[in-house]
């Protein structure tokens, strides 16, 4: 006998149209995806508790602008940045930390010339005033700045692309004496204490990345503004792999010792790809308790808690959010919904399932988020399994999270299954898991992606003959390597991916110039794991997308693998975008990339027609 709920489900299914997976109509169009792909970064609060953030808008060619919180619930947020400016720094290419709120003003890095500007945040239509010299281009870049009220100066991370005398470089910002000491390769998080007497910062050097090994330093600010008596507070012991990060000065001090405040086997911050991270902040307590609001990641989940430093106890907050970042003390416990979508879309949203699957290494597991096909108007026949699109994230030292991503919903609402893989080397699962990829990039990530696809096939969730793979940057490399060295997938897409590991090492920017050494290992591995050297092993079609201004993975990577595959006679297509860097920011390019992948994969899976009217590009050796 059926239950009432069971009968209701059967009735609902009977009202659905039966059509092949992948052919379903969906209101989540590529226009919606590209227009909704705003990036919100760098939240900060002024002295009045008002929130500010940087909003990157694809509909404005990816321009990043400073936005101020609405004055009331009836008002809209206010754009601060004038039309001819963009709040974005290119320090370390990934940027971040592009602005600071100083009283009634903001100091920000302008994308076009990378100069620092000062602008009022309260006067309507106020014009930014330049603070740094004009070098006729982005030749000197700034990030992660803080204001030193004691000496009325702005301290910031500076990266010189050309050789400029330090005195000339700094004279427009600070008249403080420039000291000479041994300079490290990288710096981050300059932070001044509440009395203006000490400066803390993070530094690290090649061949380390900041999440591998870094050092926390404190220097005393003298009467004339010099930084003196520098002390390495943490990370100085070469026998310990330690990476301190995100220093902040406590409102009160009770000891000069370095003491742990709470012990938990979890990740309390993200890897330092971007400047301006804020994973915790101090709270003002009515009872004068020492409290810290913080978030952490444990086994693929985000948690937000309040830590009582005195008692060493953590109180978790019961909130519905799946991803937590940018903790800012604004003296309020209110939550604001900054980004939302129409309720009509809700029935089309596929919810992620966190899955754990076995890898090729006995006893080891890897993780992924699986999204099943979801559409209230369509269903497939009972004997059919959906095609699968597997995505391998970039980095590789990052993680994918189970959040609302319309790029994923674009696929699932059309009848595709989608899986977002956190292969070995991803963050969010501890240092041991993150270090699995060291010396084995191109092996661990590829094997884990193939194991994930096999797991889903064996579980009966997807069709084993309709497996496709996509990825950007490091994920593009994983895609190319999977197609070169395995026969798991039917087709692939690489977005600004790596084809030649040696060229990447030789050509990439300073921040990542030694990153690859730790990932690849010995010299022979550079050849053995480069897909460009094994084009004869490619057995399925691939489509490539590349920005022509990319300085992380240069355009020659896509161009070389395209020419090699074309000459070999393998089906391949290349799409190049003028004005795009590492990651696509323009709405028209985001849309085109998404739609072309859809028709490319649908054509090669070969058992359905897409419902959208999309004109496919030519695929060499196929058309």
Q: According to the 3-state scheme, what is the secondary structure of 506-523?
A: HHCCHHHCCHHHHHHCCH
User: What is the pLDDT at residue 178?
Assistant: 44
Residue 3 burial (CB < 10 Å; 0-12/13-18/19+)?
Answer: exposed
Residue 259: what pLDDT?
80
Listed in order, the ranges of the chain carrying CATH 3.40.50.1820 are 4-19+349-605
Model-level pTM?
Answer: 0.87
pLDDT of residue 8: 47
Q: Is 340 exposed, middle or buried (0-12, 13-18, 19+ CB in 10 A)?
A: exposed
Angle at 352 between CA 408 and CA 427, to 5 degrees: 90
288: pLDDT confidence band, cut at 50, 70 and 90? low
| DSSP structure string for 172-229 | TT--S--------SEEEEEEE-TTS-EEEEEEE-TT--TTTS-EEEEEEE-TTS-EEE
Nearest to 141 by CA among 91, 97, 107, 189: 91
Q: How far apart are the first and last CA of the chain?
A: 55
Q: What is the pLDDT of residues 604-618, one digit of tens each?
A: 998 888 889 999 999
Torsion angles phi and psi, residue 409, rounded to 5: -65, -25
Token pair listed for 419: 């899986």
**Class for the domain spanning 4-19+349-605:** alpha beta
Taking 70 as the threshold, does the pLDDT of residue 387 lie above it? yes
Rounded CA-CA distance 32/46 in Å is: 33
Helix (H) or strand (E) holding 596: helix 587-605
C-alpha torsion sign, points 152, 158, 162, 166: positive
Per-residue model confidence (pLDDT) at position 164: 41
Residue 66: other Cβ atoms inside 10 A: 24
Mean pLDDT of the chain: 86
Task: Dump strand ranges (E) for 235-374.
Answer: 280-283, 291-298, 301-308, 313-316, 353-358, 365-371
User: Tens digit of pLDDT for each residue in 522-541?
Assistant: 999 999 999 999 999 998 99
Cα-Cα-Cα-Cα dihedral of 189, 193, 198, 204, to 10°? -20
* Cβ contact 121:155 at 8 Å: no
- Beta bridge partner(s), residue 140: 160
Reported as a single tens digit per residue, the pLDDT across 133-160 is 888 777 788 888 888 888 888 888 887 7
Please tell me the predicted confidence (pLDDT) of residue 440. Answer: 95
pLDDT greater at residue 581 or residue 352? 352
Calpha distance 480→195 (Å, rounded): 54
The pLDDT tens digits of the residues spanning 329-359 come to: 756 555 555 555 677 888 999 999 999 999 9
Residue 350 DSSP symbol: P
Tokens standing for residue 195: 């009395």
Predicted pLDDT of residue 15: 86
Over residues 460-470, the pLDDT tens digits come to: 999 999 999 99
Mean pLDDT of 99-123: 87
Mean pLDDT value across residues 552-575: 95
- Residue 200 contacts residue 148 (beta carbons within 8 Å): no
């Amino acid at each position: 006998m059926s239950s009432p709920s069971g009968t209701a489900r059967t009735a609902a299914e009977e009202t659905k149209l039966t059509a092949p997976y992948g052919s379903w109509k969906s209101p989540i169009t590529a226009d919606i995806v590209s227009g909704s792909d705003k990036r919100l970064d760098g939240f900060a609060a002024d002295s009045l508790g008002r929130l500010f953030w940087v909003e990157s808008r694809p509909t404005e060619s990816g321009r990043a602008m400073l936005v101020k919180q609405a004055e009331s619930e009836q008002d809209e947020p206010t754009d601060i940045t004038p039309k001819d400016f963009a709040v974005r720094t290119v320090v370390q290419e990934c940027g971040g930390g592009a602005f600071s709120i100083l009283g009634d003003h903001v100091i920000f890095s302008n994308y076009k010339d990378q100069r620092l500007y000062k602008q009022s945040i309260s006067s309507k239509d106020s014009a930014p005033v330049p603070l740094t010299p004009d070098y006729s281009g982005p030749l000197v870049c700034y990030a992660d700045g803080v204001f030193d009220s004691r000496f009325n100066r702005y301290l910031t991370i500076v990266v010189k692309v050309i050789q400029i005398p330090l005195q000339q470089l700094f004279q427009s910002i600070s008249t403080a004496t420039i000291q000479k000491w041994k300079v490290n390769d990288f710096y981050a998080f300059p932070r001044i204490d509440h009395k203006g007497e000490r400066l803390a910062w993070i530094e690290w050097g090649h061949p380390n990345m900041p999440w591998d090994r870094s050092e926390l330093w404190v220097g005393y600010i003298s009467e004339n503004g010099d930084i003196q008596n520098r002390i390495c507070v943490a990370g100085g012991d070469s026998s310990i792999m330690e990476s301190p990060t995100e220093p902040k000065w406590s409102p009160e001090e009770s000891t000069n010792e370095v003491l742990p405040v709470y012990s938990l086997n979890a990740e309390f911050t993200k890897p330092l790809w971007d400047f301006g991270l804020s994973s915790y902040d101090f709270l003002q307590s009515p009872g004068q308790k020492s409290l810290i609001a913080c978030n952490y990641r444990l086994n693929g989940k985000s948690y937000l808690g309040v830590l009582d430093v005195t008692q060493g106890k953590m109180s978790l907050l019961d909130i519905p959010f799946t991803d937590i970042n940018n903790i800012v003390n604004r003296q309020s416990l209110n939550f604001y919904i900054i980004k939302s979508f129409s309720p009509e879309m809700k029935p089309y949203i596929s919810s992620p399932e966190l899955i754990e699957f076995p890898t090729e290494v006995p006893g080891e597991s890897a993780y992924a988020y699986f999204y099943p096909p979801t559409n209230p108007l369509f269903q497939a026949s009972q004997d059919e399994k959906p095609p699968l699109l597997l995505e391998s994230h970039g980095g590789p030292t990052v993680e994918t999270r189970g959040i609302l991503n319309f790029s994923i919903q674009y696929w699932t609402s059309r009848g595709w299954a989608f899986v977002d893989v956190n292969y070995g080397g991803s963050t969010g699962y501890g240092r041991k898991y993150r270090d699995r990829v060291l010396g084995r990039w191109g092996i661990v990530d590829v094997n884990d992606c193939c194991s994930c696809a096999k797991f889903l096939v064996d579980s009966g969730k997807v069709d084993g003959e309709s497996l496709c793979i996509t990825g950007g940057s490091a994920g593009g490399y994983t895609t190319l390597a999977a197609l070169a060295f395995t026969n798991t997938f039917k087709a692939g897409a690489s977005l600004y991916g790596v084809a030649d590991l040696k060229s990447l090492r030789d050509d990439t920017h300073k921040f990542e110039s030694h990153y690859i050494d730790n990932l690849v290992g010995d010299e022979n591995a550079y050849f053995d794991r480069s897909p460009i050297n094994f084009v004869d092993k490619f057995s399925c079609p691939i489509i490539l997308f590349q920005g022509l201004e990319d300085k992380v993975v240069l355009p020659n990577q896509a161009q070389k693998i395209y020419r090699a595959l074309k000459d070999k006679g393998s089906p391949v297509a290349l799409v190049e975008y003028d004005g795009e860097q590492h990651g696509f920011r323009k709405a028209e390019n985001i849309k085109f990339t998404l739609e072309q992948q859809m028709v490319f994969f649908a054509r090669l899976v070969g058992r359905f027609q897409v419902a959208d009217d999309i004109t496919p590009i030519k695929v060499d050796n196929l058309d």
